[in-house]
Amino acid sequence: MAASINLHKISRFANLAIPSMAVLFFLGGHFVSFYFHFLTVTFLLLTVVNLFYLYIQKKHTILRNFGILGQARYILESIGPEMRQYLFANDTEERPFNRIERSEIYRKAKGIDSASSFGSQLDFDNSEIKVRHSMYPVDRENIKDFALTFGEERGLENTYTINKPYIISAMSYGALGKNAVQALTRGARMAGIPINTGEGGTPKYHMDEGGELIFQMGTAKFGVRNDDGSLNDEKLRKLCAEPSIKMIEIKLSQGAKPGKGGLLPKEKITQEISDLRGVPLGQDVVSPAHHIECMCKQSTVAFIKRVQDVCMIPVGVKICIGKTSEFRDMVREMKAQNVFPDFLAIDGAEGGTGAAPKAFMDGYGMPLMPALFSANKILTEEGVRGRMKIIAAGKLINSSKQFIALALGADAIYSARGFMLSLGCIQAMLCGNNTCPVGITTHDPSLQKGLIVEEKAKRIANYVKGLEHDFYEMLAASGIKDAKDINMDQLYIPDDTALADQINALLKNANL
Ligand SMILES: Cc1cc2nc3c(=O)[nH]c(=O)nc-3n(C[C@H](O)[C@H](O)[C@H](O)COP(=O)(O)O)c2cc1C
């Protein structure tokens, strides 16, 4: 029979032992040495706390049944995540990113070669999609340099070209602290990639760093709104005239909380953020679930057109796909109005967030790969795939996942958490609490002080360099001379993966 500790007996013993010790030390203090009274006071305090737990407080069953001993459970529970992360979790176990995945980012960000030895720690049980190589790899000098131009489909004068397939995905000043925004933007500039401002309003710190920016207009339209939440065309026009603003992204929805607006907990509203967003201090900021102008497919497409007319720079839309039939209807409406966003950013349900209701984070939205595949298929079937670019987001932190997304229809890659990890994020999962231990998602100066902007900016640039190196190596190994030729033929999709099931089902079902 397994030996077990009878906590109830121990706690009953403790209930007697603690006051007895107080009496014993009191006698010791009286007859032996005055110093025993220090222990008398300690045990008297413990007795009072124990009695409070056992007979007065009514909230916690464990404390009412086990007294002070029950407190140990709460202490162990509170340090459990750290104990598991540092001591007990194995390398492939943690979520959202396991240690192997995180270490690869850390190594890339530090400029350390990410070659590893002996063998992969991942499963090769026919459950994962892999990239097919060619018997005839090509040399780097025969591979065309990556270039992707947004806005060319509309014949825009102010097109925007990226020369690397990576973009830092939306994270607002608010969700992120000042040092993090500065380091990301400076790093993006050093790496030669753009950064999305997130929905935090006037991107003051982003603009100070002089990076190339995609301004995100969330549903609350911070920075470009009228008092009633509608778009202020003049404010947007003025912002678009800033040389650093290269594109606009209208956020319709986000993978971590589709159907909900952004959420910034009150703990993170400083005076400056309150001023930048025009929101009160001391209250959670909850953005509306949709733009006031977007009530149906007609008004949504008309709104895209209005923003395009105001901005004169590429304008895209960010969505997490839910109902594919609604998406197809929206695409048909675009055709009807002859209005197309310059890019579609597809955010998988597995995407990250500063804060979101758990039910939405866990339960809503289509994961990236099937969403990407469906969107690409619908756009192709509707004959409009060539009218816009697709940017994919959703845990695309390493080169092989990124390659798979490109093969399933993406033209470029968004990453938020890959870049947070490069900044030194340790996945403490405290982004909404203002207590981020590495100073990234906090406004507490005493925690931000460890995040040295110059140092971390270099890590962002190194990470991009490492990814780009892999990207061309992978193109070479797959025998592809132009990134535009990456397609599903380059993928080995085993029959029995959950993803393969979904994709195969989607392939069979023409009426998505
Ligand atoms: C801290 C944090 C803040 C974010 N803020 C925004 C935001 O302001 N607007 C938005 O559309 N998405 C926001 N996101 C979502 C990301 O832009 C991205 O779509 C999602 O995390 C998927 O990418 P990833 O898996 O590479 O993190 C945020 C994500 C994180 C982790």
End position of a domain, from candidates 35, 63, 88? 88
Same domain for 79 and 134: no
Contact 120, 130 (CB under 8 A): no
Q: How confident is the model at residue 509 (pLDDT cuts 50, 70, 90)?
A: low
DSSP state string for 197-236: --SSSS-HHHHHHT--EEEEE-TT-TTSB-TTS-B-HHHH
**Range with the poorest average pLDDT among 71-80, 165-174, 427-436, 487-496:** 487-496
Q: How much distance in Å is there from the Cα of 226 to the middle of ligand 1? A: 25
Same domain for 154 and 76: no
Same domain for 485 and 427: yes
For the segment 70-83, the average pLDDT, to the nearest whole number, is 87
pLDDT at 15: 95
- Has residue 399 got a pLDDT over 60? yes
Is 245 a member of any domain? yes
Same domain for 29 and 148: no
CB of 394 closer than 6 A to ligand 1?
Answer: yes
Q: How much distance in Å is there from the Cα of 171 to the middle of ligand 1? A: 5
Q: For the domain that residue 424 is a member of, what is the CATH number?
A: 3.20.20.70
pTM of the model: 0.92
Same domain for 416 and 290: yes
Burial of 232 (0-12, 13-18, 19+ CB in 10 A): middle
If one counts the domains in the chain, the total is 2
Same domain for 294 and 190: yes
Same domain for 158 and 20: no
For residue 80, what are the domain limits?
A: 9-88
Is 95 a member of any domain? no
Burial of 76 (0-12, 13-18, 19+ CB in 10 A): exposed
- Has residue 510 got a pLDDT over 50? no
Is 271 a member of any domain? yes
Helices and strands of the chain, counted as H and E runs: 18, 14
CB of 172 closer than 6 A to ligand 1?
Answer: yes
Is 109 a member of any domain? no
Task: Provide the Cα torsion 243, 232, 270, 360; round to 10°.
Answer: -100
pLDDT at 103: 94
Q: How far is CA 147 from the centre of its chain?
A: 26
**What is the residue whose two structure tokens read 């209208």?**
250
Same domain for 140 and 84: no
**Residue to mutate, 206, 417, 426, 440, ligand 1, most ligand atoms under 8 Å from C-beta:** 417
What digits encode the pLDDT tens for the residues 104-119? Answer: 999 999 999 878 889 8
